[in-house]
């Protein structure tokens, strides 16, 4: 298998890091607004009931078609 293919596979199967609530709050407080994305992938009804202020709602089922709404250069915290 070529090195390029291995790199691609590594990227596709990279583990997403997790942060608990406390770490996420510290992370977001360290950054200024506009420099990160809070992504809410739940359904609109769940978002309506309660969401983290400033979260961008893109339900998981619509995520593949909405990637252009996200900035790949900014850190994303998803829930």
Partner 1 sequence: MLSGLGFEEIYNLKGGIKAWQGLEAAGPKELNLDIVRGDETPDEIVALAYDMEDSLQTYYKEMHHRTKDQEVRELFYKLASIEDKHKRTILELIATIEAPGGSTKISQADTGTMVLEGGFDMAEFMEQNEPTLKTVPNVIELAMMLETQALDLYLRFAAKSTNAETKDVLFKIAQEEKGHLAGLGRLMEEKI
Interface residues with partner 1 (CB under 8 A)? 11-14, 16-22, 24-25, 27, 29, 32-34, 40, 42, 44, 46-54, 56-57, 63-64, 67, 70, 72-79
**Residue 1 beta carbon to partner 1: minimum distance, rounded to whole angstroms:** 17
**Residue 4 beta carbon to partner 1: minimum distance, rounded to whole angstroms:** 15
Report residue 57 as tokens.
Answer: 């709602």
- Give the span between the Cα atoms of 34 and 77, in whole angstroms: 13
**Residue 21 beta carbon to partner 1: minimum distance, rounded to whole angstroms:** 4
- Give the span between the Cα atoms of 70 and 64, in whole angstroms: 11
């Amino acid at each position: 298998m070529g090195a390029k293919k291995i790199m691609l596979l590594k990227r596709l199967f990279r583990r997403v890091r997790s942060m608990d609530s406390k770490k996420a709050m510290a992370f977001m407080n360290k950054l200024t607004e506009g420099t990160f994305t809070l992504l809410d992938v739940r359904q609109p009804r769940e978002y309506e009931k309660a969401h983290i202020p400033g979260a961008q709602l893109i339900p998981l089922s619509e995520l593949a078609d909405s990637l252009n709404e996200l900035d790949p250069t900014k850190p994303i915290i998803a829930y």
